[in-house]
Amino acid sequence: MLLLVALTGACALAPPPQHDDVVRNALPAGTTLPPAWKSEASAVPVADDWLKQLGDPMLDAVVSEAIANNLDLRQAADLVAIAQQAVVVAGAQLWPQIGATGGGRTTHDFDHDNGSTTSVVFGSVAWEIDVWGKLRAKRAAAQAGYEATALDYAYARQSLAATVAQAWYLTIEAKQLLALAEHSVDIYGQLLDLVSTRRTAGKDSDLDVADTRAKLESALSSVEAARQSYADARRALEVLLGRYPATEIEVAATYPLLPAPPAAGLPAALLERRPDLIAAERQVLAAFRQEEVAKLALLPDFSFTFAGGRLGDPLFSLLNLNPWLVTAAIGASIPIFTGGALQAQIRIATAQQAQAVAHYGSVVLVAFREVEDSLANERFLTRRLPLEQNAVDSRTEAVRIATMQYKAGRRDLLWVSNLQTAELASQADLIKLWGLQRRNRIHLYLALGGSFDATPSSALLPDTDEASAGTR
């Protein structure tokens, strides 16, 4: 009856902090969430499965390989398994701990040719009665930590997919720059042949020949540097896929067409969509429960123990005692003086909770900046690309005209050489701009919290809630 009264009258846990309260306390005074993004006013919800929208089967394959084989992601998955078992360990303290002991011993006296046998079989039950809710608070803290770890794993999957996609585009960029460098060798080689022919005819000088040959040598050096960059990019991509970095992976020669920009949704919705932000909020909840545990440690602990069994011993027979033994006890542990340790634990837990709240505010502001940066860059890059393309076309036409005039004797070699160098530089800038636009798009997908596949990140969250974790 005493146990029943204790269990039915156990104190409920304190209500957890609400989402709006966490956000308000995490952000500095005066910092509010805008109703729409500054760089785009769109309330259309963010869609998942952005990888398929890119329309690149080769990229689909490498992302799938990375998700299956990346070693950092495996470590993140193991952390989830560890956190899950930590919840089991914390929850096990709420249940009675049942054990059994068995054994026997035989003693033989060789002088008198006799012996004795002793046997013992005992069972025990120990139970700490969670009157105040300290053990339930521990389990709730472990549950919140587990959910945070699972959400961090979900975001790690999204980050890995985005990193692989960006590395894929970076490798395509390096391959195109290598092709451009090799093309520049052909251009300067043809120019050297032309200058050498004109030198033989007395139309150009030895200086023109030497300068053109120097540009050809520089172009050959640039090819080697481009090959090195291409090899580095491929090795980095292979490691992400869990492969040995052997520069054996092949990538596309050109960029696939880029789809229309994704819908950005509302800023407030980002807090409940991005896994890393939800994980940071779960860490606030875990710290809240840890502070509750520290405060409840000031109250007495109540425990119940029961043990019973049989002790078979010759001495019991001589004394005519019953070998069956039963013992039961109810105890209380009351903290009276701990040298300030318990109060210090409360202050530590309070500071840790404040730290978790500040960390949440920090990651929220960084997340908003990532979205605003990516949306703004999307707009700027969209404007720059046609201008850069027009510049390349104009420089190509200028090189063609200058070359014709040079052959006709109306322009000197320096004019043609400078225009040719500017054209190659513009082509390289255009290739880099294409790559930058695609990498920014991937960063936008990640910043908005959309999933790379058809499974939303929130679906990886354990199917439990904090309220169930805080009750019996």
Query: pLDDT (tens digit, 9 = 90+) per residue, 17-56?
Result: 999 999 999 999 889 888 889 887 677 888 899 999 999 9
Q: Indicate the helix (H) or strand (E) that contains 99.
A: strand 97-109
Looking at residue 281, its pLDDT comes to 96
Q: DSSP assignment, residue 471? A: -
Q: What is the predicted pLDDT for the residue at 471?
A: 38
Match domain 10-94+130-300+335-469 to its CATH number in 1.20.1600.10, 2.40.160.40, 1.10.10.60, 2.30.130.10.
1.20.1600.10
**CA gap 305, 19 in Å, rounded:** 42
Residue 106's pLDDT band, with cuts at 50, 70 and 90, is: confident
Mean pLDDT within 127-142:
92
- Are 185 and 313 in contact by the 8 Å Cβ rule? The answer is no
358 or 317, which is more confident?
358
Query: By CB neighbour count within 10 A (0-12 exposed, 13-18 middle, 19+ buried), where does 12 fall?
Result: exposed
Query: Partners of 105 in the beta sheet?
Result: 118
- In tens, the pLDDT along 209-252 reads 999 999 999 999 999 999 999 999 999 999 999 999 999 999 99
Look-up of token digits 């020669």: 253
Return the structure tokens found at 386.
């046609």
3 state DSSP class of 120: strand
